[in-house]
Amino acid sequence: MARSTSKSHSNKLLVFLVLALILVVSAYVLKKTLTQNICANSLSCELSLKLNVDNNTPGVFNGQEVSPPQIDLSKKDTPTTVLGETTVTGEKHIYVDLTTQTLSAYQADTLFMQVPVSTGKWFPTPTGDFTIWEKVRATKMSGGSGADYYYLPNVPFVMFFSNDKVAAGRGFSLHGAYWHDNFGHAMSHGCVNMRTVDAHKLYDWASPTASGNITLSTDNDPGTKITIYGETR
Amino acid sequence: MGKHVKLTLLILLLVIAGSVFSIFYSLKNQPQNVPISQTSKYPLPVVNAGTTQTSTVVAPDGKWKLTMEEKKNKEGATYTFSLVDELSNSSKKIFTKTVPVGTTMALPLNTFSPDDKYFFIKETDSIQTRYFVLLASGQPIFNDSQTVEISELFMAKYEEYKITDITGWGGMNLLVVNVDKKEGGTGPSFWFDITNKSFIRLNDRFN
């Protein structure tokens, strides 16, 4: 009788251990799946990858209404002054330092621009080596919830980047930000926010060469490499 | 004493007297304000009377440029803030302030509000830094005053904290205010809402 009770306890313990193991593994897989596939803009997600201009809807950021810039796609943007572009040759590379919240763009060893940026505060900006795979003149981005909810039409000069760990569909990008002016400090939901004037200049300089309002990188015109490093303070 | 010896002594006395007179005369005529030593370990004070310096910040959308002209004089410095329309290159004087020696004013990098409606400036002396918000139109921002001073408003409401920095604009009319505890330690961040001059305490710290 005693032996039978002991066996029953052992079986219960075994079942409990197996269930606990299944629970832990499931939680790990779920967390990994969720964090690997979360879009940079949780609500607009893959819609943000497309060209979208809306000059009539106000935006929302930090609980406030914001006025998006008016964008007329029929008008060609004034090209930014690109000093030295014709004389400097070599590979282009963009570096984003999360610690100093600074973006530096080089062609070979020549510094093209160095400007303050705002990276992930409410969601981390991924680190590593990336490539620009798409450039879009303007799009809509929305996400967050509660006080962090944002809805931002006409986000200008968007340069989407990806690598083998961060899929293109997640929508991480460098882009202009018209809804705040706190550059040099973390302020985004994972993207790299730039002053609109700086984003315009980088958009004109970086590859693939913009042709029209949406441009994909190709084998003949590959995207500029981006290295994101450091740790947000 | 021989005649030759007497003559030699006389000549010697005359030479000595002449030398003493010459040294005395040259010292008497030396300019009084010439430093005795040119290799003094203390740097001599330099007054940059009349020097002018200009700083500029371009708005994030590239439409406007704010310039600060600093004109130094013996009493201090006069700062003039002007707004330049980047398209037409026309300039409008917005604000002028004269400060005493030891006080400086500065244009922060993120001076413009996102819609270019406001801008903020810093004034620093040996004791503290003050932050002022102005309307870019140059109109009075509150009653008849052209400026709103944030530090004073904050100190009146939150005695336990001190402002360490105002970094920029978190929204169209929200300034990011970082504070520390007066007794030591990092404090929270606040929004300063310029529309109603109120402070909103945040859960996050904006570094």
Separation in Å, CA of A106 to nearest CA in chain B = 22
Inter-chain contact B170–A196, Cβ cutoff 8 Å?
A: no
Mean pLDDT on A197-202? 97
Chain A residue set in contact with B, beta carbons under 8 Å: 61-67, 69, 116, 121, 177-187, 195-197, 200, 233
Phi, psi torsion values for A16, nearest 5 degrees: -60, -45
Task: Mark yes or no for CB contact A180/B169 under 8 Å.
Answer: yes
Residue B192: strand, helix, or coil: strand
Supply the pLDDT for residue B30.
38
ipTM for the complex shown: 0.82
**pLDDT tens for each residue of B4-31:** 677 777 777 776 776 665 554 444 443 3
Q: Give Cα separations from A151 to A64, A123, B133 (angstroms).
A: 10, 16, 27
> In the predicted model, is pLDDT for residue A219 greater than 50?
yes
The identity of residue A140, as a single letter, is K
**Per-residue pLDDT tens digits for A13-53:** 888 788 888 787 776 555 555 555 688 899 998 889 999 99
Strand partners, B162: B180
Can you spell out the DSSP letters for B85-113? ETTT--EEEEEEEEEETT-EEE--TT-B-
At residue A12, does pLDDT exceed 90? Answer: no
* Model confidence, pTM: 0.80
The pLDDT tens digits of the residues spanning A69-85 come to 999 998 877 777 555 55
C-alpha to C-alpha distances, B6 to B2, B18, B19, nearest whole angstrom: 6, 18, 20
Residues of B with CB under 8 A from a CB of A: 58, 60-62, 109-110, 112-115, 167-174, 176, 191, 204, 206-207
Q: Does residue A5 have a pLDDT over 70?
A: no
Question: Taking CB atoms and an 8 Å limit, are B206 and A121 in contact across chains?
Answer: yes
Residues A100, A156, A54: CA angle, nearest 5 degrees: 145
